Amino acid sequence: MKYSDFIVRLKDYTKDLNNDDTLPFLTNSALNLAIKKIAKRIGMKDWYMVSAHNLRKTHGQYLVALDVNIANICKRLGHDMNTFLNSYCSADIFNPKDREEIKVILGDLV
């Protein structure tokens, strides 16, 4: 069985945990602070605008650009079709070069 790159990284991260250990899941607020801190540290422009929601929306847009079935995107994001189309999906503005870069960024998470 071939695992996704994400699962491989998660298994590596959790390999030393005991049965009594828990994963350090963050609240949404704490996650957003961590994302902003990392974005600022790496020199991202407008780092203060980055959030979990923006990353999630970007992920959805990337999937649209790669012609992933909208129903599959909705399932992945946990939205019904109307919510996705009204709040998450916007015009596909990516050119062929962008689409190639998106494939590299997403890897096997498509």
- pLDDT, tens digit (0-9, with 9 covering 90-100), for 1-10: 566 777 777 7
Query: What confidence score (pLDDT) does residue 23 get?
Result: 62
pTM of the model: 0.68
SS (H, E, C) 37-102: HHHHHCCCCCHHHCCHHHHHHHHHHHHHHCCCCHHHHHHHHCCCHHHHHHHHCCCCCCCHHHHHHH
CA–CA dist 95, 93 (Å, integer)? 7
Question: Could you state, in order of their start, the residue ranges of all structural domains in the chain?
Answer: 23-109
Mean pLDDT to the nearest integer, 77-84: 89
Give Rg (Cα) of the chain: 16
- pLDDT, tens digit (0-9, with 9 covering 90-100), for 11-70: 787 777 777 766 667 788 888 998 899 899 999 999 999 998 888 888 899 999 999 999
